[in-house]
Amino acid sequence: MQDNNRAIVLGIHLTSEGNFKEIAEYSLAELTELAETAGLEVVAESLQSRPKIDPTYAAGKGKLDEISEMAKAMDADTLVFDLNLSGSQMRNISELTGLKIIDRTLLILDIFASRANTMEGRLQVEIAQLNDRATRLVGAGMALSRLGGGIGTRGPGETQLETDRRHIQRRIKTLKKRLKELSRRRQLTRENRTKNQLITGAIVGYTNAGKSTLMNALCESDLFTMDQVFATLDPTARRIKDSDIPILLIDTVGFIRKIPHQLIEAFQSTLEEVSYADFIVQVTDISDPEFEAQMDIAERQLEALAADSKPRIHVFNKIDLVDRKIIDKIMQTNRHAAKQIFISARDGIGLTDLKQAINEIPKAQMLPFLLTIPFDQSQIVSELRNVAYIDNVEYTEQGTKISFRIHQGHLGIIKPLLQQF
């Protein structure tokens, strides 16, 4: 059968775990979106309820026989599972159905491979792909080779890899060495930000919540945006326009349910941008029916990154697409005790309030001063305007009377004046 990129997606609802069927249905719908993002044409969805995963066929032989017939009728050549399969399961299912088998992890890795634009991003993706392949070697047989050059094999590791674990481990070791060198540069950048008392905020949230659109609106930048999952992969820093002092926002990769652990490990240096940020801007697509579940997933990811206790602004985006009752309900609950701002990044609604809220975060951490600066030391006023929050300025006979807030790291600017007291 020639590759035609027509696929059936299959989810499993485990009744023994007491999960609601609706959760499995939503996850399956999300899998369909992932498959389409990866370039597949999804021709059918199927959800099976069963007490546990079949150790040999995952979904069970009877269900797979049904899927095989459906594939023939619909001219589909690919079966995508909404769970992670072992190498032997992939082999068994492939041999039984005659279809190419892709699971959720392979699909996400493939999307990441197609979206990685920087050297660091490409190295991280290849490490994740190789780690995933290594875990599937035992029992996989021809299942991995059936993928050919299509989904699950794209990206930096596009050449045919030997299925020898030692070869893969040697390659991973080489890539990690190169990634470590790039990570050092990222660390130096962070240290320079700290040294210069530059405030940084990380924009986080579920994939496709509108993070890049928001960053473009706040920073007047032109980051790539698309109504698709994982449109942004490589973190990008931009300065907020019209803020009282320099504040950098860092756009980060979106969270998603069942994110492959290989990706979390490989992207550790990138995810550290969230851990090192001074504050968090959490973005939620309020128009998504599952936004509450997505908030919980984002919360767990922030906890895993030890970033859940940082100062946080919770931005509820796309309010132009929802009824006012939904906004009122959220305002009453405020589950995560963060400041709430309701916006439409696309239409510019609420951005003034959001900028004000962002400016308040560093201001609360600054030291207040009221000083009169002699006119012959006016360069101090110029320096303060670059790094401090200026609350009020008056010109007196003695000099410039100025009230301001400043970070401890910048006290050197006013040190000559402080020594006079």
To the nearest 10°, the Cα dihedral for 364, 370, 371, 375?
90
In this prediction, residue 66 carries a pLDDT of: 96
d(CA 343, CA 213): 12
In this prediction, residue 147 carries a pLDDT of: 45
d(CA 404, CA 220): 27
- Residue 262 and residue 335 in one domain: yes
pLDDT band at residue 343 using 50, 70 and 90 as cut-offs: very high
**Contact (Cβ atoms closer than 8 angstroms) between residue 106 and residue 144:** no
pLDDT band at residue 233 using 50, 70 and 90 as cut-offs: low
Least confident of 139-148, 261-270, 334-343, 351-360: 139-148
Q: What are the residues facing 400 on neighbouring strands? A: 373, 395
pLDDT band at residue 236 using 50, 70 and 90 as cut-offs: confident
Q: Look at 42 and 339; give whichever has higher pLDDT.
A: 42
State the chain's mean pLDDT as an integer.
Answer: 85
In this prediction, residue 139 carries a pLDDT of: 55
Question: Sheet holding 78-81: strands in order across?
Answer: 41-50, 6-14, 78-81, 100-103
**Contact (Cβ atoms closer than 8 angstroms) between residue 406 and residue 412:** no
Is pLDDT above 70 for 408? yes
- Residue 170 and residue 263 in one domain: no
To the nearest 10°, the Cα dihedral for 259, 58, 152, 186?
20
- Highest average pLDDT, of 148-152, 278-282, 406-410, comes from 278-282
Residue 298 lies in a domain: yes
Residue 192 lies in a domain: no
- Residue 390 and residue 344 in one domain: no
Range of the structural domain that residue 1 is part of = 1-186
- Residue 136 and residue 278 in one domain: no
In this prediction, residue 229 carries a pLDDT of: 59
Tokens of 323: 């009824």
Is pLDDT above 60 for 75? yes
d(CA 251, CA 246): 16
d(CA 256, CA 229): 9
In this prediction, residue 395 carries a pLDDT of: 95
Q: Look at 414 and 334; give whichever has higher pLDDT.
A: 414
- Residue 40 and residue 68 in one domain: yes
- Residue 316 and residue 262 in one domain: yes
- Residue 403 and residue 313 in one domain: no
- Residue 211 and residue 266 in one domain: yes
Using alpha carbons, select from 216, 219, 200, 198 the residue that is nearest to residue 386: 198
For the chain, the first-to-last Cα distance in angstroms comes to 86
In this prediction, residue 228 carries a pLDDT of: 57
Q: Look at 230 and 286; give whichever has higher pLDDT.
A: 286
- Highest average pLDDT, of 39-53, 157-171, 241-255, comes from 39-53
- Residue 162 and residue 292 in one domain: no
Is pLDDT above 80 for 172? yes
- Residue 211 and residue 63 in one domain: no
- Residue 304 and residue 375 in one domain: no
pLDDT digits 0-9 by tens, 366-386: 899 999 999 999 999 999 988
pLDDT digits 0-9 by tens, 5-49: 899 999 999 998 777 888 899 999 999 999 999 999 999 999 999
- Residue 58 and residue 204 in one domain: no
Please state the rounded mean pLDDT for residues 156-177. Answer: 72
| Residue 182: CB atoms within 10 Å | 16
pTM assigned to the model: 0.78
In the chain, how many domains are there?
A: 3
d(CA 245, CA 166): 52
CA angle (134 as vertex; 131, 135 as ends), nearest 5: 90
